[in-house]
Amino acid sequence: AEDTGVRVELAEEDDGRKSSIALRLWVEDAKKLKGKSKDNGAIEFTFELEKETPDDVAQEMVDAGFFHESDVKIIAKSIRDRVALIQWRRERIWPMLH
């Protein structure tokens, strides 16, 4: 995945069973963001893998004032890349479950 300057990691072990997963997002390279992002630190949240889209979460983060509107696409892409990896991994490790 392209380096967006925004890091998204699992905030918990993934057992492949839960429909939701805890993720943690933080800015590694603020220069890659268009808007001035506050020094937010790490933002942890729960993501419903089946029901939600990364764009929903990215927009909520902008609404909550963590990021500037102009960065919503970068935030959404960063989350999307991590979610895709989680789903790819789940299908490989627990094929029977998926």
Residue 23: which of 34, 6, 3, 9 has the closest Cα? 9
Taking phi over 0 as left and psi of -120 to 50 as alpha, with beta for the rest, 5 belongs to: left
Least Cβ distance, residue 40 to another protein (angstroms): 6
* x/- track of binding to another protein for residues 8-27 (CB under 8 A): ------------------x-
Yes or no: say if 54 and 76 are a contact pair by the CB < 8 Å rule: yes
Rounded Cα–Cα distance for residues 79 and 7 (Å): 8
Nearer to another protein, 59 or 87 (CB): 59
One-letter amino acid for residue 57 of the chain: V
Query: Does residue 75 belong to the site contacting another protein (CB under 8 A)?
Result: no
Nearer to another protein, 15 or 29 (CB): 29
Query: Does residue 69 belong to the site contacting another protein (CB under 8 A)?
Result: no
Residues in 39-68 at the binding interface with another protein, rule: CB under 8 A: 40-46, 56-57, 60-61, 63-64, 66
